[in-house]
Chain A
């Protein structure tokens, strides 16, 4: 005999498929107990607000309704921290922020939209934001995290993480075609010792990495979407809370962007069936992890079936082309409840749960309505199109079911076994209580003396061999990055096909224009200077896109945050500072945010107390490349060319791989001169348009020495470099010159006869010749006037770089 639960105490109508819960008499503590028991992840304040709403309605909620409200108000769906009132304090200065999202993302982006009419075609309200590719087509990009599921079940977590974001694209507009994916991971170091892990049931970073990579591989490859862009960060702070970002880009005819539900339309579900897998994913991801999560929350991790999704995708795209779709969205977090809720929010309508095809019998109403079973799309379609849609479903062998209908009532009604189990006016649910939070940030850096480099060549080998820098080739090759036959600039390229590239570029069917995609993630910077991390991430993403040939004035970006405990002032303070940084950079670059997502509670209760991740921002971006001849790779192409650098080298070493290795954890991180950077990017783009650039590689992790080595990994030539005219701070050390990671810098390769023309373009901006490619040898030679700094065999450097991760994956 089980114990009596709070549910038993308050359930009024113990029907077998739903219950009415008497909450009007409960006090705050009891309400909280109910929230916890039902895994609603609603706070006491939230529950009191719910109670108040029902008092106004003069009735008691059903369990289905409470679940719907919990989904709607969950951090995952509503982003309540980004909407919170925050009392913030920076180095003693107080300020108050009313909604980070509105102030720094939405309003900032809308000002940019206004300054570039016709560029952004849709943002923030749909599954993904669209920008104009040409007169006919638009492209979109969306990224999400799937951190908690990946921590518990790495393969399935990452698998469905990618599957979910692909569905976002299929549900963007009237259905966009997914054309490329990105994945970005943060793990503990592959060589973490078991003793370091201070909690039971936490998987070793290697196990997580292998599972996650395979999960992404098996979903992306089977869907036939090239995985073209990505990054991996290794840091101890991610041992308990690995981060898994998945993103997908899509393309759509512009005429199919706007979608609308009209009264009388049928609501249909397509794709997979509904089961008990994936219950409470949305609310689960809005809470912290602990050892118990690893035992109890496994049913929150869904099971992926990419072929089911592939069939649904074929169906959706064919239906769109035939003009059969009124409205479409995916079943993501919150399942049918979110999808139907979104769809019927204004129009209203009825959903008949009895119609939903199930994986197993016996699911109660709320389980069907909120299950996050994968591979499901929900559409609103005109009734007369049903036969044509059924034909397509038969053709592509996917299951199609009529779930209900839109009726214009404004009320979301759900029926099951002949009874109404939910009846909500969704417009009344928008106002989740505004949260009030406190945040604080204090400067963490102090000037440190740069160490003297006794043997820069040896240091270069150490930096090149660091997990932050070594080649991701073993992982990249597991992803089909060329399916669809449009990957012009591949993640690995150059004369020997294995050198790293700054961005990936896709040809778009039916257009002469191309799409460039890149990502930036610099969590090390944020540990001491989150504002600088924000500006530098936007800068790096921009720079990589521009380097690959994108027009700097036609770039849009996404912000994806991962944060530990938002109730900890210091952590929230770091978030606020990061948001300010990305907002300032977005304004300076005219690169609007068109979509974004945040993930909180990435902390873990270990035996030694809570461990949080550092505030981590992923900036991913898409840029328009005007024509194929503008596509520029990052590898040396000739052995008679000359090299030059664009951008200023600062003396600050903070955030760099070198600083980490040297233990300089408080060193100041470089700042970004945003206005100057934008000027340089525009001039660089002119040089690209004039055909003056052979190759370009950005200076990022590892610094200039690593950039030069990586460019030379194409195997085309040796390098003779002299740093004596490097544009830099007067007090820049050798370490800063070679290994500092100041932003906004690009190393370019040009034909000798074009150097003067290029130099003219950069007049008044930091620009200098660096040396030349050499045909006589295969060495990286770097001097400072007469002083020899580096003289290393490129082959030897490359093998170090190439094998660094290979032994672990």
Chain B
């Protein structure tokens, strides 16, 4: 029997999407361990193929979102996550996890700041897949829906041109179909140059099954009565990529 790849879900005080994110990872086949930041050591990542930072409010996010999580992570394990990436590891950051990966400089430079609405926004959005080659997005169609739930999801760069550059280079792997929160270039997710680090504000783990969609008839008309939600295919893409590349 083939060995299932291991994933570590890193949890900070205030991380709160760990349960459903771990469920999503397990559903597609990852052996998933939730690791509390207080117990994180470089050794914890030995043999691990994927590190996931899930949604929530690490340390309350009272300072800039993800800032304290970055400081604590660096203090605990220094450059370990960068080495993990350099050694072929995959990193996924969802919502607060995206904010933290950005803070950790594991993704192209940018900041996730307060939505232009000034509000927390819990709603479903249509997204455009701009990186069909990405190990995270390969099985997703050109356009699909995920839910969002954030107050600080507006991606800004120091110069507006930088964000446009991300679109041109393909770093902006995921964009909103409409202006949802004021993100430059409507960017919803970024990948790094290796393609193995990906962060996004929307929540794929909340759309694993057809019945998670707000419209009970969402899947009618789709081939053979789709039972998976779009989010499933993000995790499935990732699983297939991880298992098809050697460590």
Taken residue by residue from 49 to 70, chain B's Cβ proximity to chain A (1 for < 8 Å, 0 otherwise) reads as: 0000001110110000000000
Residue contact B215 to A495, C-beta cutoff 8 Å? yes
Residue contact A481 to B212, C-beta cutoff 8 Å? no
| Shortest Cβ gap from A477 to chain B (Å) | 5
Complex interface: chain B residues within 8 A of A397 (CB): 13, 38
Tell me which residues from 58 to 89 in chain B have a Cβ below 8 Å from any Cβ of chain A. Answer: 59-60
**Interface size (B, Cβ < 8 Å)?**
34
Task: Given the known inter-chain contacts A307-B59, A477-B123, A482-B149, please indicate yes or no for A492 contacting B16, CB distance below 8 A.
Answer: no
| Shortest Cβ gap from B245 to chain A (Å) | 28
Task: Given the known inter-chain contacts A223-B16, A306-B60, A483-B149, please indicate yes or no for A631 contacting B211, CB distance below 8 A.
Answer: yes
| Shortest Cβ gap from B222 to chain A (Å) | 15
Question: Which one of B14, B56, B208 contacts A485 once the chains associate, using CB atoms below 8 Å?
Answer: B208
| Shortest Cβ gap from B6 to chain A (Å) | 20
| Shortest Cβ gap from B137 to chain A (Å) | 20
Residue contact B38 to A395, C-beta cutoff 8 Å? yes
Question: Which one of B39, B55, B124 contacts A483 once the chains associate, using CB atoms below 8 Å?
Answer: B55
Complex interface: chain B residues within 8 A of A485 (CB): 17, 19-20, 23-24, 203, 205-206, 208, 212
Question: Which one of B19, B38, B57, B122 contacts A482 once the chains associate, using CB atoms below 8 Å?
Answer: B122
| Shortest Cβ gap from A230 to chain B (Å) | 13
Residue contact B121 to A494, C-beta cutoff 8 Å? no
Instruction: Determine which residue in A217, A485, A497, A509 has the highest number of CB atoms from chain B within 10 A of its CB, and name it.
Output: A485
Closest to A490 in B: B214
Closest to B58 in A: A307
Taken residue by residue from 474 to 510, chain A's Cβ proximity to chain B (1 for < 8 Å, 0 otherwise) reads as: 0011111111111010101111110000000000010
Asked if A222 CB lies within 8 Å of chain B CBs, one says: yes
Task: Given the known inter-chain contacts A394-B38, A633-B216, please indicate yes or no for A497 contacting B57, CB distance below 8 A.
Answer: no
Task: Given the known inter-chain contacts A307-B59, A483-B55, please indicate yes or no for A222 contacting B16, CB distance below 8 A.
Answer: yes
Complex interface: chain A residues within 8 A of B56 (CB): 224
Residue contact B121 to A477, C-beta cutoff 8 Å? yes
Q: How far apart sit A231 and B77, CA to CA, in the bound complex (Å)?
A: 47
Tell me which residues from 433 to 490 in chain A have a Cβ below 8 Å from any Cβ of chain B. Answer: 476-486, 488, 490
Closest to B37 in A: A397
Q: How far apart sit A307 and B13, CA to CA, in the bound complex (Å)?
A: 7
Closest to B39 in A: A395
| Shortest Cβ gap from B28 to chain A (Å) | 14
| Shortest Cβ gap from A694 to chain B (Å) | 9
| Shortest Cβ gap from A310 to chain B (Å) | 6
Residue contact B215 to A497, C-beta cutoff 8 Å? yes
Main secondary structure of the interface of A (DSSP, over half): loop
Residue contact A488 to B212, C-beta cutoff 8 Å? yes
Name the 3 nearest CB pairs between A and B, nearest first: A224-B16, A485-B20, A497-B214
Taken residue by residue from 3 to 15, chain B's Cβ proximity to chain A (1 for < 8 Å, 0 otherwise) reads as: 0000000000110
Asked if A311 CB lies within 8 Å of chain B CBs, one says: yes
Complex interface: chain A residues within 8 A of B36 (CB): 395-396
| Shortest Cβ gap from A641 to chain B (Å) | 12
Residue contact B119 to A478, C-beta cutoff 8 Å? yes
Task: Given the known inter-chain contacts A221-B57, A307-B13, A484-B20, please indicate yes or no for A477 contacting B211, CB distance below 8 A.
Answer: no
Asked if A755 CB lies within 8 Å of chain B CBs, one says: no
Taken residue by residue from 221 to 235, chain A's Cβ proximity to chain B (1 for < 8 Å, 0 otherwise) reads as: 111100000000000
Asked if B147 CB lies within 8 Å of chain A CBs, one says: yes
Asked if A637 CB lies within 8 Å of chain B CBs, one says: yes
Q: List 26 A-B contacts (CB under 8 A).
A: A217-B120, A222-B57, A307-B13, A310-B13, A310-B14, A311-B13, A394-B38, A397-B38, A477-B123, A478-B120, A478-B121, A479-B120, A479-B122, A480-B120, A482-B203, A482-B206, A483-B149, A485-B20, A486-B20, A492-B214, A493-B216, A497-B124, A509-B19, A631-B211, A633-B216, A637-B216
